[in-house]
Structure 1
Amino acid sequence: MELPDPIKVVLLACGSFNPITNMHLRMFELARDDLEETGRYKVAGGIISPVGDGYKKKGLIEAFHRVMMARLASANSEWITVDSWESSQPEWVETAKVMEHHYEEAAAAEQKKDDVDTVKYLKKRGINSSLGEIYNPRLMLLCGADVLESFEVPHLWKKEDIAEIVGRYGLVCITRRGSEPHKFIHQSDTLWRHRKNIHIVREWVANDISAAHVRRALRRGQSVRYLLPDSVVRYIEENKPYTAESEQKNADVVLAPLERYTGAGAAGASG
């Protein structure tokens, strides 16, 4: 019996990347290994999408710097790229809308690769179908366990967006020692309903690098070498985007999702 061709997957990671760390890049490698070992998937690419300045997170430096550092960090990768569409938007864009944008981009790119004009053929046959339905490049959100658990933070996510992300696209969650993603999924009706679209990947080599810890070390004049790619360390040394003042940016500003979904809310979260 001939096995079906593996499903082509593009991994999308959204976040602050403030700054991008070795762990951010490591997540892509872990996810690719895990998905391809199932025999069901073939990872065709990875996209890093830094959030825009409109997110208003405390300590979030300008998108220009974060995009530049992400491009330097991924320069040696043959399959991970950086996309600046989200970061260039004047206002914060919900993750579900970012995924829709990249899904349409991937579908359009897949169409261009096809020598047969499938769309025209289907139209002649009177069949209405979207690009996604014809070419179906599978887009999955790549994240850490902290993002999965943030789905339950009041007013941070819209329930319909969560259902869209895990139901329509899929989620690859990199978990670390001490996190309990399966328990969290069990406790959420939405995540439980779409649990087959959630892939949990265990990181067995403990790695607790966080951007917040990196920024703290930089403010104190401590070395961050081997926590970040060397090219990113050099960029920070030359441009000095992280200071005591930059860490207080947006300190008294409401985080964009809280502002949008409540009209008021608490000040932006750190991290």
Structure 2
Amino acid sequence: MEDAEKTEVVLLACGSFNPITNMHLRLFELARDHMNGTGRYQVVKGIISPVSDAYRKKGLVAARHRVAMAELATQSSQWVTVDAWESLQKRWTETAQVLRHHQEKLQASHQEDQLDSPVLERPGRKRKWAEERQDLSPKKALEPPRKGAPRVKLLCGADLLESFGVPRLWKSEDIALIVGHYGLVCVTRAGSDAQKFIYDSEVLWQHRHNIHLVNEWVTNDISSTRIRQALRRGQSIRYLVPDPVRDYIAQHGLYSHESEELNAGLTLAPLERNAAPS
């Protein structure tokens, strides 16, 4: 298939990135190889979107640090970038809404390219988009995808896929929107049975053709939780995170016994928002 006939894809990874690890970066490479290898897609960009402080996860350090570390981790990448929009929101933003934000931004940019090409962007165009496109209310109808505009897909590990089954963590309509309208690229790990999880879920099974499972043949079990644990114990994390991230953590004294107690006793934002009314 000619490149012009392939669907351009932007991989979006949402999460805490507390801190970002080499495994987070590896997910992008694995997913790009898989999607490009299908012959139907061409991955053109990767976006890391750290969650805001309003997520209230235990041990979550300030978003400004998590964004800074992600930017350091991707400074040598030619295609993976960091977007701070989600991290700057005062309230926690559902993943479906983050996907929507980036899809609409991509579509607006594509439209501008169609209107202005090959002339440079006119001043004020991006500002106008920001003013007119920030209504992410669920009541506002989704825009149909514009022909030729890249399609954003959620990139995740098997743990996020399995979290769809955690009561109150996700709205059923959001799961349907994520897998049905946008699509999921899931990198599986050893010990997980993503195929069975999809089979056991009615909504995932219904949209199974829009879920792309990527096998990780060279297994890597690095996790942010283990990184923080090693730091609290004074152990080395070299080769587990990019060197600039390791230096940043040391410079700012991040991840101590005290920081691990941040948000202790607070209810996770999605669990609170999705709680059944009394």
Does the pair score TM above 0.5?
Answer: yes
- Aligned-partner residue type, residue 44 of structure 2: A
Aligned with residue 236 of structure 1, among 249, 273, 278: 249
Identity %: 59
1:241 Cα deviation after fit: 1.8
AA aligned opposite 1:79: W
How far residue 130 of structure 1 moved from its aligned partner, in angstroms, is 4.8
Question: Secondary structure of 2:145's partner?
Answer: helix
Cα shift readout 1:196-248 (whole Å, capped 9, x = no counterpart): 00000010111000000000000111100000000000101111121111001
Distance 1:46 1:167 in 2: 20
Indicate yes or no: 2:197 matched with 1:207.
Answer: no
Q: Which SS does the other structure have where 1:215 is aligned?
A: helix
Q: Residue type of the partner of 1:245?
A: E
Asked whether 1:49 is paired with 2:49, we answer: yes
Cα deviation code 1:137-184 (max 9, x no counterpart): 211000000000000100000000000000000000000111100000
- Structure 1 residue 4: Cα displacement: 6.7
- CA distance in structure 1 between the aligned counterparts of 2:91 and 2:271, rounded to whole angstroms: 14
Question: What is the alpha-carbon distance in structure 1 between the residues aligned to residue 201 and residue 220 of structure 2?
Answer: 27
Distance 1:75 1:2, change over 3 A: closer
Q: Which residue of 1 aligns with 2:113?
A: 113
Quote how far apart the aligned CAs of 1:263 are: 6.4
Contact 1:108 1:131 in 2 (8 A): no
Look up the match of 2:129.
none
What CA distance in whole angstroms lies between the structure 1 residues aligned with 2:198 and 2:149?
26
Matched positions, count: 254
8 Å CA contact 2:11, 2:46 repeated in 1 = yes
Segments of 5+ residues of structure 1 without an aligned counterpart are 118-128, 265-271
Matched, 1:168 2:194: no
CA contact (8 A) 1:21 1:211 kept: yes
Matches within 5 A, 1:164-203: 164-203=177-216
Deviation at 1:133, TM superposition (A): 2.9
What is the Cα deviation at residue 111 of structure 1?
1.6
Partner residue in 2 for 1:73: 73
Q: Which amino acid is the alignment partner of residue 38 of structure 2?
A: T
> More displaced, 2-11 or 94-103?
2-11
Is residue 245 of structure 1 aligned with residue 266 of structure 2? no
Give the counterpart letter for 1:88 in structure 2. L
* Alpha-carbon displacement from aligned partner over 1:6-54 (angstroms, at most 9, x marks no partner): 1000000000000000000000000000000110000010000000000
Q: Which residue of 2 aligns with 1:124?
A: none
Displacement of 1:261 after TM fit? 1.0
Asked if structure 1 preserves the Cα contact closer than 8 Å seen for 2:3 and 2:42, the reply is: no
**TM-superposed deviation, 1:115:** 4.5
| Aligned amino acid, residue 176 of structure 1 | R
Supply the distance in 2 between the matched residues of 1:194 and 1:116 (Cα, whole angstroms). Answer: 37
2:255 partner SS: coil
The 1:86/1:131 distance shift into structure 2, 3 A limit, reads same
Which residue does the alignment assign to 1:154?
A: 167
Decide whether the 8 Å contact of 2:53 with 2:87 is kept in 1: yes
Cα offset for 1:132?
A: 2.9
User: 2:72 & 2:4 partners in 1: Cα distance?
Assistant: 37
Considering only aligned residues, what root-mean-square deviation do their CA atoms show, in Å?
2.0
The structural deviation recorded for 1:136 is 3.7
TM-score for the superposition, normalised by structure 1: 0.90
CA–CA distance in structure 1, aligned partners of residues 116 and 12 of structure 2: 28
Spell out structure 1 runs of 4+ moving beyond 6 A: 1-4
Unaligned residue ranges in structure 2 (runs of 5+): 118-141
Please give the TM-score of this superposition, normalised by the length of structure 2. Answer: 0.87
